[in-house]
Structure 1
């Protein structure tokens, strides 16, 4: 790594950068799986500025950015999903920074936030066709199952992973 990284809570000024990273990562991973139109629809809905602003405001949702030499290159959101102690996280790194350890750094920060929320276990799902995401999860989580999920009007196989916090 020839750059200086830092992780911090996201702020309103980061919304455009989070959207930029999301656009690059989602298109790189999902265009061939879901199609660019479906990806654009998801980005429009899931990453609308009011949605991100609300995530920043909620204490129970951790929204963090990772910077490389002060530029936002990754982000992660995490929170409790189930009162029995399960949480999840969504983590995306700009493709130019894949393999640099930024995702692992964000995972550690997310675990600290989830512990503060009394989360005992992270459960996440990754489309089976997402080679990049599955590679990351195989390195850090245990695969505990498979299922199908609808995305863009189509059924897709999904791998289910867990990690004790």
Structure 2
């Protein structure tokens, strides 16, 4: 498995990965219809494409040769704080190191950063445990995870890089 920058040719596979992981993780929390609505909007090819050229960002995948098994997207407005918007690993690839590889790549891509911040669904115990094992701590909460007015509650986690 290796980490590489996402490309235009990866977008359909990235979308499929996001749809699969979202349904696996969130159907029991939000219901199938709500997850389908979110993935159709947030994870459409049209929504993913601008990430390929967004300034001050990193859009990477973990490539296992025969498939992409994980994806991450992060950005930084000021270079000091990295906002990790997405880090998703296919359910059958979890626990095999892809998430950690992507986390390291994202952090290495912003050498001036002193913190990484992210939002995580407050009932997603597996993701919370993953991030806590990577040194993240809870620093707040939001009622609108991912997008303004999403209505999805989440914890805000942060990790110091100093």
**TM-score band (shorter)?**
0.7 to 0.9
Which of residues 20, 30, 47 in structure 2 aligns to 1:24? 20
Q: CA offsets per residue over residues 119-143 of structure 1, 9 Å max, x none? A: 2211112111012211111111331
> Does residue 140 in structure 1 map to residue 138 in structure 2?
no
Q: CA offsets per residue over residues 36-65 of structure 1, 9 Å max, x none? A: 111111111111212211110224221001
Give, in whole Å, the separation in 2 of the partners of 1:70 and 1:106.
18
SS in 2 for 1:8: strand
Q: Which runs of 5+ in 1 are unaligned?
A: none
Alignment partner, residue 120 of structure 1:
114
SS in 1 for 2:105: helix
Which of residues 80, 86, 90 in structure 2 aligns to 1:85? 80
Given the two structures, how large is their TM-score scaled by the length of structure 1? 0.86
Give, in whole Å, the separation in 1 of the partners of 2:143 and 2:152.
5
Alignment partner, residue 55 of structure 1:
51
- Rate the CA distance shift 1:155–1:75 in 2: closer, same or farther, 3 A: closer
Normalized per residue, the structure richer in strand is: 1
* Structure 1 residue 155: Cα displacement: 5.6
Root mean square deviation of aligned Cα:
1.9
Whether the 8 Å contact between 2:136 and 2:159 is mirrored in structure 1 is: yes
Alignment partner, residue 143 of structure 2:
149
Give the total of aligned pairs: 157
Give, in whole Å, the separation in 2 of the partners of 1:84 and 1:60.
8
Q: Which runs of 5+ in 2 are unaligned?
A: none
Whether the 8 Å contact between 2:139 and 2:158 is mirrored in structure 1 is: no
Q: Choose 29-38 or 146-155, whichever is displaced more.
A: 146-155
SS in 2 for 1:114: coil
Alignment partner, residue 125 of structure 2:
131
Given the two structures, how large is their TM-score scaled by the length of structure 2? 0.87
